Chains A and B, each alone.
Chain A
């Protein structure tokens, strides 16, 4: 594993007995105790994730706003400083470069949070399209990032001690903030389907921030959580994951992300392709027969191939096994499908997405 990239929390993971795996070139813990226990902690109490591998790309300059309007499928018009917005980034053919979170500091300064494995590709993509009045800077190495997620997250912050306004609304952030005396930026965002925050700090401050939050979390029995729980949580909340529900071969429209595709905007990369009706549609399936449908399993309707599974597995909070699948749009309203699992056809019923939605 020597060739793997390490986040500033690598030694922390080892000290907490994290089971380290190669995640797209990063040495990260898949779990510390148990994926199911960690999943449960986030749904019921609180969990702490190292997401320092995520990429941070700053876009600044007098043309920054116009540039992003051209690069993103979502529309940043009317977006206030201190707000976050989700957006896919597309190729001309509608295929997805990445799906990202945009933090607006001002009309001429934005921070893009991109998927770890796409950081270099995204940087190249943005930098190669940037006009003279825009600077694109890959700041990933200087940032650490920790996600504090779960219904008790506020109590953990309270105990840790904060200075500055805790963002009250979803998809807002506070820039000059501090947690346990550590300077950071904090946003009311996450990737678990629970309430919570993501905290950005200097790379070198990340271990201290993590240990302060671990300590503060004792009262609510917070657990450190690995990539395994991050995946089951986002899967249950039916959030797309790049490389699975989205890719250069899958458009955000096929993935059902219509809310973030603003074709009313006169121009952006991929617009023409995204005006076309999608040929495939992402659907949710609940397995009726026993078994687990994994990614890439074929999905059938009356013995003819209808599509394939993009993510599948156990939904720990709901109970039972579920799958997200990309199927022929003409078949997307059918109710019963079959999924090929090791040569056996397993019955599955279409269910609404998201599978899990928190009550509040």
Chain B
């Protein structure tokens, strides 16, 4: 089930907003499409990111995928456990964020609900 407690992008990221912090990760569909994830290039704390920027890179054995941010602001936390265990994104994509942004603005137009996201994935298949 695609969790209802957050929003999604058509680039297959999830965005979970708590106050002024946006958590960003990848969807179950994304991890399945990528296959075994073997490396995550995390942003640096205090990097400033604009909406639509590629803020991180997730690499599987065969593919390289940019992780875009729909939230604009400053990186305040990165999931360092992904350095040692990038496969956490395969095992539990919705429980493992990649980075958190203290945002000044969120690109609401880029965000869709869980239901809309599921329909989007369906339509892409």
Q: Of the candidates B35, B36, B59, B83, which one forms a contact with A292 in the assembled complex, judged by CB atoms under 8 Å apart?
A: B59
Lowest 9 A-B CB distances belong to which pairs?
A35-B61, A36-B36, A314-B38, A292-B39, A34-B36, A292-B59, A35-B36, A228-B62, A35-B35
29 A-B residue pairs with Cβ-Cβ distance under 8 Å, sorted by A, are A30-B35, A30-B62, A31-B35, A34-B35, A35-B35, A35-B36, A35-B61, A35-B62, A36-B38, A36-B61, A228-B35, A228-B62, A231-B62, A232-B61, A290-B39, A290-B83, A291-B39, A291-B41, A292-B38, A292-B59, A292-B64, A294-B64, A313-B38, A313-B61, A314-B38, A314-B39, A314-B61, A321-B39, A342-B41
Q: Could you list which residues of chain A lie within 8 angstroms of chain B, going by C-beta atoms? A: 19, 30-31, 34-36, 228, 231-232, 290-292, 294, 313-314, 316, 321, 342
Q: Which of B31-60 contact A (CB under 8 A)?
A: 35-36, 38-39, 41, 57, 59
Most central of B39, B57, B61, B83 by chain A CB within 10 Å: B61
Q: Note all chain A residues with C-beta closer than 8 A to B62.
A: 30, 35, 228, 231
Majority secondary structure, B binding face: strand
Q: Which of B73-107 contact A (CB under 8 A)?
A: 83
Q: How far is the CB of A245 from chain B (nearest CB, A)?
A: 18
Bound-state CA distance A34–B35 (Å) is 7
Least CB separation from B83: chain A residue: A290
Q: Note all chain A residues with C-beta closer than 8 A to B41.
A: 291, 342
Q: How far is the CB of A339 from chain B (nearest CB, A)?
A: 14
Least CB separation from B32: chain A residue: A19
Q: Given contacts A36-B38, A314-B61, list 9 more A-B pairs with CB under 8 A.
A: A34-B36, A35-B35, A36-B61, A228-B62, A292-B59, A294-B64, A313-B38, A321-B39, A342-B57
Q: How far is the CB of A280 from chain B (nearest CB, A)?
A: 26
Q: Note all chain A residues with C-beta closer than 8 A to B59.
A: 292
Q: Note all chain A residues with C-beta closer than 8 A to B39.
A: 290-292, 314, 321
Least CB separation from A30: chain B residue: B62
Bound-state CA distance A342–B35 (Å) is 21
Least CB separation from A34: chain B residue: B36
Q: Note all chain A residues with C-beta closer than 8 A to B35.
A: 19, 30-31, 34-35, 228
Q: How far is the CB of A342 from chain B (nearest CB, A)?
A: 7
Q: Note all chain B residues with C-beta closer than 8 A to A314.
A: 38-39, 61
Q: How far is the CB of A229 from chain B (nearest CB, A)?
A: 9
Least CB separation from B42: chain A residue: A290
